[in-house]
Amino acid sequence: MRYNMMKTVVMVRLLSHCSMLLLALLTSTQALAGIQDDALRVVWKDLRPTVDKTVVKDYRNGAIAKDVFDSYMEGYSRTIVTDYDNRLVKIPGYLVPLNMREDMTATQFLLVPTAGACVHVPPPSPNQIVYIEYEKGMTYEETAMYPYWVYGKLTSTMKTSEYSDAMYSMKAELVTDYITW
C-alpha cells in the first residue's frame, strides 16, 4: 500500500512538472506569435531619409561640383530616420556574423539588405545596416546566404564593426525564415 501511495505522489509531481513545462511552452509560443503579429513591417527604403531632389538636379545640371555632391551623399548615408526608433519592428535581410566562436556560432550580426554585403563587396550605406544582438545565436551555416525576418525593438544607436558602421541597432527577439506569403 505504501508503495502505491509513493507511486501516486511521484506521478502527481511528474504531471505537475509536465503541466508547468507545457504552460511555459505555450506561453512562450504565444509571446512569439504576439511579436510576429504586433511588429511593424519595415523595409530598407524606410530607413533612408528623403533625397533632396534639388541637390541631385543641380548636380546633374552641373550647378554644383562633384565634391559638394559627394559631401551631401556622405551625410545622406549617415542620416537616420527616427520614425521607428524604439518600436517593435520586423525587417528582412541577410545576417553577417561578427563574433564567430570556435563552435561556429555568433550572437552579434550586421543585418544588410543584400547577400554578401559587407564581406565580398563594398558595404551598404551605414543607414542601410542594422547591428543585431541575438542572444540565442546562430551558426555560420544558418546565416550564409539565407534571408531572414528579424524581429525586435529598433533603435537609432550607431555601432561600429570590422566591416562597417551601422546607424541602427536591435536586440532581436525572434529570427525567422524570410517567407513572403
User: What digits encode the pLDDT tens for the residues 65-81?
Assistant: 999 999 999 999 999 99
Domain boundaries, the chain: 1-38, 41-177
Q: Encode pLDDT of 11-49 as tens digits.
A: 445 444 434 333 333 334 444 557 788 999 999 999 999
- What is the percent of the chain where pLDDT is above 70? 78
Write down the residue that cell numbers 563552435 correspond to.
Answer: 103
Question: Do the Cβ atoms of 118 and 164 come closer than 8 Å?
Answer: yes
Angstrom distance (rounded) from CA 132 to CA 175: 11
Mutual orientation of helices 53-60 and 66-77 as an angle, nearest 10°?
150
Pick the CATH number of 41-177 from 3.40.50.10420, 1.20.200.10, 2.40.50.870, 3.40.30.10: 2.40.50.870
pLDDT at 157 > cutoff 70: yes
Q: Picking from 24-28, 88-92, 108-112, which range would have the lowest pLDDT averaged per residue?
A: 24-28
Among 28-32, 74-78, 121-125, 160-164, top mean pLDDT goes to 74-78
Indicate if the pLDDT at residue 82 is higher than 70: yes
Q: Which residues contact 84 (CB under 8 A, 6 or more apart)?
A: 40, 42, 46, 47, 154
Q: Residue 83 is inside which H or E element, if any?
A: none
The reported pLDDT for the residue numbered 26 is 33
Give tens-digit pLDDT for 128-145.
999 999 999 999 888 878
Tens-place pLDDT, residues 91-103: 999 999 999 888 8
